[in-house]
Structure formats: C-alpha cells, structure tokens
Amino acid sequence: MKKIIIGAVMTLASFLPLATFASTFAYVDVNGNLGSVDAANANQALTVSNIAYNSGVVLLGGSVTMSGLISSPQSSVGTYQYVDVSGKISAVQANSPEQALTVSNIASNSGVVLVR
C-alpha cells in the first residue's frame, strides 16, 4: 500500500513544475471572441484547439524567460498593432491587449501585438 501511495505522490509531484511556471495567454478564437489559455510558453499556447487561423497569442499574466532575461506584461499605456477590416495594419493606444481588441475597425480574426 505504501508503494502505491508513494508512487502516486511522485507522479503528481512531477506535474507541479509545469503548473508553477505556467503563464496566461490571450488569443482570438474561431468565433472572433477573446479567449485565454494557461501554457508554459507562447508556442504551447498556439496549440489551443479553437484558435483562429490568423490569431497570435499575447502574454497576460506570469512571465516567460528568453535568453536568460525575464519579461513580464506592463500595465502602462502601449501601442498595439492589429489588422483592420480593410486588411491594413493599424495601431491603437491602449492600457492592455484586451482593451486594444475592442477597437471598432479590427478584423474579426485579428489579434493585437504590443509594439511600444
């Protein structure tokens, strides 16, 4: 009995680092709605089953490590680019990616990218 319990605890413990280091990413789903997913990195977030064909992902919470540097989302106003209904790249000032996605002329399957 002890072996079964110890084995179960060790199996569960092996999943803890994945949950501990997960970040939350936003994306546009196939219906044009904003969705979110917890993933270890952006590449993993892009594998969500209902993501729109032209959607990217935006880091909402947590942090990711790139080349030893840690990057976290900023809470100040930024410039976000998106594809508008005519197919052109446009920009908007917003406090968050969620706010940027509410712009009136955004294409139905467009996401937003923080550029400044």
First to last CA, the chain: 58
Which string of DSSP letters, residue by residue, matches 34-101? EEEEEESSHHHHTT-TTB-TT---EEEES-EEETTEEE----S-EEEEEEBTTS-EEEEEESSHHHHT
> Which pLDDT belongs to residue 1?
53
Q: Is residue 13 part of a domain?
A: no
The answer as to whether 9 is a domain residue is no
Q: Is residue 2 part of a domain?
A: no
Q: Which residue has the tokens 């680019």?
A: 81
16, part of any domain: no
User: Is pTM beyond 0.85 here?
Assistant: no
CA-based angle 18:66:23, to the nearest 5? 35
**Structural domain harbouring 52:** 21-114
pLDDT in tens, 66-104: 544 445 555 578 888 888 898 888 999 988 888 888 999
6 within a domain of the structure (yes/no): no
Tell me if 110 is assigned to some domain: yes
User: What domain count does the chain have?
Assistant: 1
